[in-house]
C-alpha cells in the first residue's frame, strides 16, 4: 500500500447491527485501515440496544485498524437515525436505547400528529410528519409507559450524539441528525420549544446543534482504551443517511436507493421539503441543504427471511407467475402501515418457490420506488428553487447498501423502475461520508467536494430495461385492496 499523501482521518459508521471504522487518506480517499465490531439488538416486543455496546464496538473497530488509527488527526461519527438514548447525570444510559425500527410508539405518534394540528402543520413547522421511528414519538412512549425512567433522565441524545460526546465530553449534535427527531424545526432551524413543552422535555436536556463545519471538540486526554490520539479533532458527525449522501458527494437531484436493514430513497435539494402526506421526511443534510427522504422498514432482512422460509438462496428467484408478496414483517413506515404484517396473495398450483421469492423482492422494491417518485416530485418542496431542482427521469439511480451487491435486488430495481442503475464500488459510504466530513472540518473544504474528489460514486452502470408494468400494477392493486388485512388500523 502506498504511503498516504495527506493527513489521515477516521470515519465511523455506527449502524443498527455493527460499528465500522475506516482510516482514510484525506488527500486521496484511500482507505488505509478498517475495522468492524457487532452489536446486539433485543428480540423482544420492540427493538433496543445498550449504548455502551456501541462504545465498546467503536473501540474494538478502531483497535482492528491497528497503530495507524492513532496517526489520524480528525474523526467523525455517523450513526443510525432516530434512536432515543436516555442518560443519567453521570452520562450513563438509564435504559437501553429505543431504536429507529421500534414501532411501539405508533399510538403516541398518532396522538401527537392530531394534537399539534395535523400532518400539514407538522410538515410546514418541523419539515416532516413524524413516523413511529421518530425520536419524539419514542420519548412520548417512554413518558407514558416508563414514567419513573423518564423522570430520571438528565440528557437525551441520538446514537451519534452519544458516541461523539463520549469522545469529546461535550453534548453536541448536527442539523442533519437533529432534523429526524421531530423536535428540531426545519422552519426555524432550531429546537421547537413549544413542542418540547408539549411532550414534557426540557431543552436543557438536549445537545447543542452545531453548524455543518463546526468542530464538536477534540478527543479527550483522559480516555483509556481508545486507539485515537488525544487532541484529534472531532467533527460534528451526522445521521447515517446524511453521511451516505456526503459519501457519494451528491449534487442536487441525483436519486439514491439504499438497500439495507431498512430501505431508503433520497436526493439532495436546495429547497426545504414539506410533504403533508408524511411519505417524504424533510430532513436537513449535513452541509446546509436539504435531504428529502423516504424510508421503508422492510428491505433486505425481510426478503432474506422470506427466502429462508422458502428454503432458498436469496438469489434463487424465478420469473413469471401472478403471486404478490408484501413483506411488511415489522410493520411498515412507507406506506404508513405501522401495524402491518406480511401478505402473500395470488398463489396457483403452478406457482414456484422462486416466483414467490421474486414477488417478495417486487413488493419491497415497489414500496421504495413509489416513495422515490414523491421524493423527486417538486410538489413536496417549497421555497427557493432553481434549475438544479428539476429531476431527470432518466438519471441513473445510485444503488447503495448491502443489497446493491445482489443481482436480484439490482435487476428488480431496473425492471420495476425502467431507469438506468449505477452501483458505486465504494462499499462503506456512511463511514466514507463521515471521513469526508472529518476531512472537511480539518481543511475547510466542502465535504461533498472532498468525496467527489475521492471518486466514491464510481462503479458499473447498467442501462435501462423496459418497465414491467404488469408486475407494478399487480403489486399496486393488491396493496390498495388489502386494507384491514395488513393491520393498518
322 burial via Cβ count (<10 Å: 0-12, 13-18, 19+): middle
- Measured between alpha carbons, how far is 177 from 296 in angstroms, rounded to an integer? 18
460 burial via Cβ count (<10 Å: 0-12, 13-18, 19+): exposed
Closest among 18, 58, 21, 59 to 40, alpha carbons compared: 18
Closest among 434, 334, 336 to 375, alpha carbons compared: 334
84 burial via Cβ count (<10 Å: 0-12, 13-18, 19+): buried
Element (H, E) at 306: helix 300-310
Is the torsion defined by CA of 438, 443, 445, 449 positive or negative? Answer: negative
In order, the DSSP letters of 198-232 are HTT--GGGSPEEEPTT---EE--TT--S--S-TT-
Are 205 and 436 within 8 A, CB to CB?
no
Cell of 100: 429507529
Are 219 and 168 within 8 A, CB to CB?
yes
Closest among 354, 345, 322 to 480, alpha carbons compared: 345
Catalytic residue among 13, 240, 285, 289: 240
For the chain, helix (H) and strand (E) counts, in that order, are: 15, 26
- Measured between alpha carbons, how far is 157 from 98 in angstroms, rounded to an integer? 11
Strands (E), 319-417: 324-326, 343-345, 381-382, 397-400
Are 375 and 294 within 8 A, CB to CB?
yes
- Per DSSP, what are the bridge partners of residue 34? 22
> Cα Rg for the chain, rounded, in angstroms?
22
110 as an active site residue: the answer is: no
Q: Which residues are catalytic?
A: 240
Amino acid at each position: 500500500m502506498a504511503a498516504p499523501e495527506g493527513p489521515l482521518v477516521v470515519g465511523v459508521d455506527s449502524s443498527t447491527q455493527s460499528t465500522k471504522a475506516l482510516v482514510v487518506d484525506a488527500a486521496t480517499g484511500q482507505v488505509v485501515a478498517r475495522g468492524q465490531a457487532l452489536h446486539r439488538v433485543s428480540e423482544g416486543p420492540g427493538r433496543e440496544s445498550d449504548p455502551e455496546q456501541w462504545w465498546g464496538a467503536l473501540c474494538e473497530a478502531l483497535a482492528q485498524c491497528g497503530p495507524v488509527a492513532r496517526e489520524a488527526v480528525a474523526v467523525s461519527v455517523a450513526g443510525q437515525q432516530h434512536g432515543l438514548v436516555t442518560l443519567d447525570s453521570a452520562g450513563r444510559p438509564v435504559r437501553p436505547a429505543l431504536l429507529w425500527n421500534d414501532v411501539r410508539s405508533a399510538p403516541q405518534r398518532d396522538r401527537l400528529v392530531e394534537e399539534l394540528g395535523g400532518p400539514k402543520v407538522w410538515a410546514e413547522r418541523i419539515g416532516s410528519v413524524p413516523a413511529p421511528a421518530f425520536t419524539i414519538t419514542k420519548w412520548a412512549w417512554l413518558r407514558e409507559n416508563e414514567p419513573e425512567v423518564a423522570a430520571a433522565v438528565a440528557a437525551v441524545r441520538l446514537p451519534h450524539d452519544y458516541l461523539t460526546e463520549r469522545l469529546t465530553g461535550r453534548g453536541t449534535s448536527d442539523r442533519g441528525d437533529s432534523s429526524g427527531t421531530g423536535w428540531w424545526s426545519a422552519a426555524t432551524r432550531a429546537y421547537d420549544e413549544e413542542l418540547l413543552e408539549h411532550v414534557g422535555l426540557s431543552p436543557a436536556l438536549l445537545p447543542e446543534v452545531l453548524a455543518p463545519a463546526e468542530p464538536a471538540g477534540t478527543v479527550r486526554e483522559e480516555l483509556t482504551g481508545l486507539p485515537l490520539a488525544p487532541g484529534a479533532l472531532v467533527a460534528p458527525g451526522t445521521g447515517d443517511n446524511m453521511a451516505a449522501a456526503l459519501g457519494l458527494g451528491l449534487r442536487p437531484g441525483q436519486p439514491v436507493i439504499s438497500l439495507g436493514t431498512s430501505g431508503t430513497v433520497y436526493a439532495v435539494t436546495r429547497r426545504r421539503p414539506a410533504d403533508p402526506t408524511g411519505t417524504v421526511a424533510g430532513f436537513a443534510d449535513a452541509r446546509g441543504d436539504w435531504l428529502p427522504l423516504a424510508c421503508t422498514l422492510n428491505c433486505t432482512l425481510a426478503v432474506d427471511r422470506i427466502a429462508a422460509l422458502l428454503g432458498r438462496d436469496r438469489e434463487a428467484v424465478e420469473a413469471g407467475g401472478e403471486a404478490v408478496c408484501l413483506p411488511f414483517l415489522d410493520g411498515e413506515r412507507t406506506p404508513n402501515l405501522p401495524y402491518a404484517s406480511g401478505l402473500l396473495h395470488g398463489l396457483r398450483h403452478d406457482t414456484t418457490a422462486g416466483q414467490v421469492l421474486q414477488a417478495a423482492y417486487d413488493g419491497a422494491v415497489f414500496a421504495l420506488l413509489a416513495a422515490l417518485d414523491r421524493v423527486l416530485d417538486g410538489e413536496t418542496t417549497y421555497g427557493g428553487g432553481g434549475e438544479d431542482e428539476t429531476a431527470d427521469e432518466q438519471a441513473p439511480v445510485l444503488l447503495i447498501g448491502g443489497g446493491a451487491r445482489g443481482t436480484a435486488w439490482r435487476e428488480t430495481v431496473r425492471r420495476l423502475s425502467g431507469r438506468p442503475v449505477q452501483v458505486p464500488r465504494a462499499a462503506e459510504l456512511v463511514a466514507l461520508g463521515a471521513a469526508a466530513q472529518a476531512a472537511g472540518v480539518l481543511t475547510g473544504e466542502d465535504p461533498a467536494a472532498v468525496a467527489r474528489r475521492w471518486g466514491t460514486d464510481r462503479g458499473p452502470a447498467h442501462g435501462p430495461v423496459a418497465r414491467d408494468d404488469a408486475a407494478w400494477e399487480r403489486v399496486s392493486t393488491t396493496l390498495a385492496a388489502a386494507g384491514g388485512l395488513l393491520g393498518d388500523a
